[in-house]
């Protein structure tokens, strides 16, 4: 009778371990959170400046309304595509900056962006 209990306990422990091992791990990345981003045009006829709050979750960038696709690596490297414009740069701690390029009515534009964690 006792050997059946031990066998059942071991079987339950192994089953629990298998479930935990199979569960998806959602690890927070160092740059996850809300970021206030300001974009400034240096060349071209794009909007002179614009600001928006973007969200980084599990290293993926998202934002309101715009077609945003991008990532932030664990070392802070940023790569983003927003409505046909492209940006890259670096986050470090609670701030970051980089460059972007795109077009307005077929005319090339480019500039810089700055971000601060909210």
| Overall number of domains in the chain | 1
Domain for residue 28, yes or no?
Answer: no
Domain for residue 23, yes or no?
Answer: no
Domain for residue 20, yes or no?
Answer: no
Q: What is the mean pLDDT of residues 4-15?
A: 38
Q: How much is the pLDDT for 8?
A: 40
Domain for residue 85, yes or no?
Answer: yes
Domain for residue 27, yes or no?
Answer: no
DSSP state string for 52-92: EEEEEETTEEE-SSS-EEEEE-TT-EEEEEETTEEEEEEEE
60, 64, 68, 74: CA torsion to nearest 10 = -20
Q: What is the mean pLDDT of the chain?
A: 81
Q: How much is the pLDDT for 66?
A: 63
> Which domain covers residue 49, as residue numbers?
33-117
- Supply the CATH number for residue 41's domain: 2.40.128.80
Domain for residue 6, yes or no?
Answer: no
Over the stretch 31-67, which tens digit does the pLDDT of each residue have? 999 999 999 999 998 999 999 999 999 999 998 876 8
pTM, whole model, 2 decimals? 0.74
Domain for residue 92, yes or no?
Answer: yes
Has residue 18 got a pLDDT over 60? Answer: no
Distance CA 102, CA 83 (A): 9
């Amino acid at each position: 009778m006792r050997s059946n209990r031990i066998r059942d306990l071991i079987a339950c422990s192994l089953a629990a371990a298998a479930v935990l091992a199979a569960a998806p791990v959602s690890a927070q990345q160092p740059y996850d959170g809300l970021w206030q981003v300001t974009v400034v045009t240096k060349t071209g006829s794009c909007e002179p400046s614009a600001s928006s709050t973007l969200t980084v979750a599990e290293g993926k960038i998202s934002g309101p309304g715009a077609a945003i696709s991008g990532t932030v690596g664990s070392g802070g490297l940023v790569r983003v595509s927003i409505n046909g414009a492209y940006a890259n740069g670096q986050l470090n701690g609670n701030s970051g900056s980089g460059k972007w390029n795109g077009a307005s009515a077929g005319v090339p534009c480019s500039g810089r962006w700055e971000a601060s964690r909210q």
